[in-house]
Amino acid sequence: MSYHNFLACVLDRAYPDDARQRVQARLGGSCRCNKPQACVARTVHRLKSKVAASKARPSIRDSSLRSQRADQEDQDETKEQDITKEKSPLPGRRAWRGRGYPKDKSQDHPGKLAGNTEGGLPMGLHRSTSQQHKSPIGAVSNPQVIKWLLFGTPKWEGGEYEGDDEPRFEALQLAMELGAEYVDIELKVADKFIKFMSGKKPENCKLIVSSHNYDNTPSAEELASLLAQIQATGADIVKIATTATEIVDVSRMFQILVHCQEKQVPIIGLVMNDRGFISRVLCPKFGGYLTFGSLEKGKESAPSQPTAADLINVYNIRQIGPDTKVFGIIGNPVGHSKSPILHNEAFRSVGLNAVYVPFLVDDLAKFLSTYSSPDFAGFSCTIPHKEAAVRCCDEVDPIARDIGAVNTIIRKPDGKLVGYNTDYVGAISAIEDGIRGKALAYGAKEKGARVVIANRTFARAQELGNLIGGPALTLTELENYHPEEGMILANTTAIGMHPNVNETPLSKQALKSYAVVFDAVYTPKETRLLREAAECGATVVSGLEMFIRQAMGQFEHFTGMPAVDDKFRALSNSLDNPSAVKGDRSTSLKPRL
């Protein structure tokens, strides 16, 4: 990305279109010159002159005076027709402190949830709380105060800024003068930037010195050394972002966060990509200064960055603290799971200080031994780790052992892991009211059904068939299988699960032989298998029903409280729209600034 109108690029992220256009007009219009560095220099010079002019004016710290001035500025803007007139000034604090959002486009931004600061456009802004304002995230709407975190990440640090340091330093210093309360500079040039400032950093502006590693997460010793290097620059806040190659990498970042909390060193410590996702949600538990959330899905500035709305509405992040118990779903893949939505809302409904997160796990035994603290109190377990979970648990419930699969793990206060299977009850009760791999076959057999097992791998089908005393088939053989009247077909594979929604385990022609068709896949709620089975006249049972029932069983194991059927069904309404049962949570959330 070039220098062209880089401040307007900032406003692309900070303002809705109409407000941005008004401010861009004050900057002198879109730059189309062939001398971008000169363009930047002129823009910075122009803004500096406005800063000098603003210093000569009376203070507008009083909110009522500021509001009056904003109203007058808006009136003045309507009179501006020629955007090239040099005397159409940009009021110094307007561009950077963020007034001017149209009321009909207001969104909310939570305190200490920074938007789009790890890469992205050459200059970016973080809104947080300090001045009455309609907030910039649609999920929340309470008045909030605006602060700014300005950054200008260069390409060599993973951003898109391709220019020289000096124009960027000038812009960052200018941002401080205009009222930015946080400025982010990279460790590689931190000393150079501090020398450039010549001690002119305003007292109310905090300097974040950051390091980004897009390859891996270094050892604990290397992270400690990096921490010391950043502290040596005189940074007000340390920022370290690394990349996870496996989920256990995040534990090293948590160790650094805890160390800094004990030493009272403010630190932002995050681990990028899906295996590092938990670092973004759990950082408040371990002492992280802030986390980052994008303003909307698809606008992420770093791998695995959640939306700020999800951080608030799904993970209740402002209530996470040192005493928060951690639960989650272990799987691979796991990003499609609706379990965090359901369980977090269930915890919230009973006032439990707990959070439920997705764990993308490659090696189950390594994960469980790494996150061995009693605070990691329980897990749901899904594909492909259910069988391995039996071997990893210290104790296994008899039914789960008979099934040969565990979908729920509880860590006792003494550290022992106990495994259960709630798929068994959830699957059979879902069919009775209208079954999953081994759990479904076991439950059906217990009810007296004749069970036929089909699998893409015949050996696995035969193994389970021998266990329950039923015949085994391949999926190809199932196509031509003619069951007796009233037979139930149950898909317990991941075939048809998002994003592969056009796949189905059986042809529509073959479905005509079945009276009832059950699909354990619940994302999407109506799979191709269920849709085509219904067209053939079969009674269909969605995997959502099984999901809710097995989740109720897990909730009881997690909390020791009874799961109320009606309440869980009401909570399940939030699965497709997390805000459906939550409403506006902002009024009860205290900023962490």
Nearest to 14 by CA among 128, 153, 124: 124
Sheet with 488-491, side-by-side order of all strands: 488-491, 516-519, 539-541
Give the whole-angstrom CA distance, residue 476 versus residue 455: 9
Q: For residues 529 and 519, is the Cβ–Cβ distance under 8 A?
A: yes
At residue 476 the predicted structure's pLDDT band, cuts being 50, 70 and 90, is: confident
In a domain, 180, yes or no: yes
Q: Which of the residue ranges 97-101, 107-111, 319-323, 482-486 would you say has the lowest mean pLDDT?
A: 97-101
Q: What are phi and psi of 559, to 5 degrees?
A: -110, -20
Write down the catalytic residue from 206, 212, 338, 582: 212
At residue 126 the predicted structure's pLDDT band, cuts being 50, 70 and 90, is: very low
Strand, helix or coil at 272? strand
CATH code where residue 240 lies: 3.20.20.70
In a domain, 59, yes or no: no
Domain stop point among 314, 337, 357: 314
Residues 160 and 280 placed together within one structural domain of the fold:
yes
In a domain, 52, yes or no: no
Q: Which helix (H) or strand (E) holds 73?
A: helix 63-78
Residues 432 and 380 placed together within one structural domain of the fold:
no
Task: Decide if pLDDT at 317 tops 90.
Answer: yes
Give the whole-angstrom CA distance, residue 330 versus residue 385: 8
At residue 352 the predicted structure's pLDDT band, cuts being 50, 70 and 90, is: very high
Nearest to 484 by CA among 437, 534, 449, 457: 449
Residues 399 and 292 placed together within one structural domain of the fold:
no
At residue 44 the predicted structure's pLDDT band, cuts being 50, 70 and 90, is: low
Residues 268 and 126 placed together within one structural domain of the fold:
yes
Tens of pLDDT, residue by residue over 545-563, are: 888 889 999 999 999 999 9
Task: Decide if pLDDT at 519 tops 80.
Answer: yes
CATH code where residue 558 lies: 3.40.50.10860
Tens of pLDDT, residue by residue over 186-207, are: 999 999 999 998 878 888 899 9
Which residue in this structure is represented by tokens 């940009």?
90
**Does the active-site annotation cover 338?**
no
Tens of pLDDT, residue by residue over 521-540, are: 888 889 999 999 999 998 88
Residues 237 and 308 placed together within one structural domain of the fold:
yes
Task: Decide if pLDDT at 185 tops 90.
Answer: yes
Q: Which helix (H) or strand (E) holds 328?
A: strand 325-331
Domain stop point among 314, 346, 363: 314
Residues 384 and 237 placed together within one structural domain of the fold:
no
Write down the catalytic residue from 206, 285, 386, 582: 386
Q: Which helix (H) or strand (E) holds 271?
A: strand 267-272
At residue 236 the predicted structure's pLDDT band, cuts being 50, 70 and 90, is: very high
Residues 416 and 431 placed together within one structural domain of the fold:
no
**Does the active-site annotation cover 239?**
yes
Better pLDDT: 114 or 219: 219
Better pLDDT: 66 or 172: 172
Residues 215 and 263 placed together within one structural domain of the fold:
yes
Q: Per the structure, how many domains does the chain have?
A: 3
Residues 409 and 429 placed together within one structural domain of the fold:
no
Task: Decide if pLDDT at 242 tops 70.
Answer: yes
In a domain, 28, yes or no: no
Residues 271 and 362 placed together within one structural domain of the fold:
no
- What proportion of the chain, given as a percentage, has pLDDT over 90? 41
Task: Decide if pLDDT at 419 tops 80.
Answer: yes
Tell me what pLDDT residue 497 has. Answer: 87
Tell me what pLDDT residue 540 has. Answer: 84
Task: Decide if pLDDT at 462 tops 70.
Answer: yes
Tell me what pLDDT residue 573 has. Answer: 73
Residues 530 and 556 placed together within one structural domain of the fold:
no
In a domain, 16, yes or no: no
In a domain, 51, yes or no: no
Write down the catalytic residue from 165, 184, 310, 423: 423
Nearest to 408 by CA among 399, 398, 418: 418
CATH code where residue 446 lies: 3.40.50.720
Better pLDDT: 266 or 439: 266
In a domain, 54, yes or no: no
Tell me what pLDDT residue 65 has. Answer: 42
Cα–Cα–Cα angle for 486, 488, 493, nearest 5°? Answer: 165
Q: Domain containing 394: what range?
A: 325-421+548-577
- What proportion of the chain, given as a percentage, has pLDDT over 70? 64
Better pLDDT: 24 or 457: 457
Domain stop point among 260, 288, 314: 314
Q: Which of the residue ranges 67-71, 225-229, 465-469 would you say has the lowest mean pLDDT?
A: 67-71
Average pLDDT, the chain: 74
**Does the active-site annotation cover 508?**
no
Calculate mean pLDDT across residues 351-355.
98
In a domain, 537, yes or no: yes
Residues 283 and 162 placed together within one structural domain of the fold:
yes
Write down the catalytic residue from 50, 112, 239, 325: 239
**Does the active-site annotation cover 134?**
no
Better pLDDT: 96 or 128: 128
This prediction's pTM: 0.70
Tens of pLDDT, residue by residue over 47-76, are: 556 555 555 544 433 444 444 544 554 454
Q: Which of the residue ranges 20-29, 333-342, 395-404, 429-438 would you say has the lowest mean pLDDT?
A: 20-29
